[in-house]
Amino acid sequence: MLQWEIMDKDELERQYSPRQWSHRMSGDEVINAHVTSLKAGTETACNITQTLLDVPYGQGEDEKLDVYMPCITSAECPLLIYFHGGYWQFLSKAESGFMAVPLVSRGVAVVAVDYSIAPKGNMDLMVSQVRKSVVSIIQQYSHIRCPSCGHGPLYRLVTVQYHSSDQREIALHNSPIQLLQQLKVSSATSEIVVAVAQNDSPEFRRQSEDYFNALKSLGMKVTFEDVPNTDHFNIMENFVDSDYYLTQLLLKMMGKD
């Protein structure tokens, strides 16, 4: 039996509530500070980049993306695709341009993707939209590298409380760790980084370790980064800093070190 299966409802909820594990401030404060930080970073990105906003990647109302491009671009300019977190319930592409702040100066474009968050969107819809966005971006920029980055270390979604067997089944078939056997990517060419915050919950950290080990067992080129002095929120907020370890790692992966 897995550890999460023997937890009572209150403990399970505590383990999967990232705001309760920050050492910097209270739960409400860390959420408010997180949103403020992301908005400020995105505003800065809008001021220093060329932007293409609300670019459709599908027919749905929420199927749009924002592109942040260096002021001077080249045909080989790499492009990073970013998928925001928010526990499927909040945040959007409007707060997701912050990663462009240190990247555009190194000749990297950033694409922030929107999808239909709950309650408007269900998990099947969200996953289909994410897949659709990637296909659209790769079709348009097939000549350059398009790595992706996302926020939220839930790789086994059935650990979250669901109210019906249908919801549980949806969570199961959309769990990243369940989908690994379907990967068609060459382990020789794909590089994956699983990063977790030092002050994330034990369950979030365990899920990240399990996912890393599952990828490694398949022969994928994967590394595990345990980022010191961070929680679930500033592990992403710090991407506005060009000297941040994960920023430097990202640039290295794109050949921009």
pLDDT at 184 exceeding the cut of 70: no
pLDDT at 257 over 90: no
The Cα angle at residue 114 between residues 255 and 147, in degrees rounded to 5: 15
Among the residue ranges 49-53, 113-117, 178-182, 187-191, the one predicted with the least confidence is: 187-191
> Nearest Cα to 251, choosing from 102, 112, 144?
102
Domain ranges of the chain: 3-253
CATH architecture of 3-253: 3-Layer(aba) Sandwich (3.40)
Structure confidence by residue, pLDDT tens digits, 65-92:
999 999 877 777 899 999 999 988 999 9
Indicate whether 1 pLDDT > 50: no
Check residue 224 and report its DSSP letter.
E
DSSP code, position 9: H
Angstrom CA distances, 46 to 8, 17, 95, 101, stand at 45, 31, 11, 9
Among residues of the chain, what percentage have pLDDT more than 70?
Answer: 91
Residue 166 has pLDDT above 90, yes or no: no
Q: Which amino acid appears at position 253 of this protein? A: M
139-155 pLDDT per residue, tens? 988 778 788 999 988 88
- Residue appearing with tokens 């299966």: 5
Q: What is the mean pLDDT of the chain?
A: 89
Residue 113: what pLDDT?
98
Please give the DSSP secondary-structure letter assigned to residue 196: E
User: Residues 31-58: pLDDT tens digits?
Assistant: 999 999 999 999 999 999 999 999 999 9
Q: Residue 246: what pLDDT?
A: 97
pLDDT at 157: 80
Instruction: Check whether 133 has a pLDDT greater than 50.
Output: yes
pLDDT of residue 185: 54
Q: Does the pLDDT value for residue 250 go beyond 80?
A: yes
